[in-house]
Amino acid sequence: MPTDRIDIRHVARLARLALTDDEIATFGPQLGSLMTHVDALAKLDTENVAATAQVVPSRNVQREDAIRPETILARDVVLQNAPQVQGPYFRVPRIIAEEG
């Protein structure tokens, strides 16, 4: 397969990463070469093989429906790491409607 098969600009847009032209020039071949390595997987027979999402099989790990007051953060702590706040809120630049 060709090494430029990944549309890096499209993938970067999905990942919300601004890439410079230099980065695109470097990452393109690097990712292409990794994907070539990964292509070897196609040879592995996985017919009728179940997918492993979690290697240790546990089920139904749930919590009781109860409030845990000790985990709730004080508001100044909630906001302490915020790049920008306004009053009790986090502030962000304008949102261009594009939600799912």
| Cα angle for residues 39, 43, 45 (degrees, 5° grid) | 130
User: How distant is the alpha carbon of residue 39 from its chain centre?
Assistant: 22
Count of positions on this chain that bind another protein (CB under 8 A)? 76
Please state the closest distance from residue 29 (CB atom) to another protein, in A.
Answer: 10
Rounded Cα gap, residues 30 and 63, in angstroms: 44
Residues 1, 2, 21, 77: which binds another protein (CB under 8 A)?
A: 77
Residue 33's closest CA among 68, 73, 2, 69? 2
Please state the closest distance from residue 11 (CB atom) to another protein, in A.
Answer: 5
Question: Is residue 78 part of the contact set for another protein (CB under 8 A)?
Answer: yes
- Residues 48 to 67: which contact another protein by CB under 8 A? 49-56, 58-67
Convert residues 1-40 into a mask of x (bound to another protein by CB under 8 A) and - (unbound).
Answer: -----x-x-xxxxxxxxxxx--x--xx--xx-xxx-xxxx
DSSP 3-state of 47 = coil
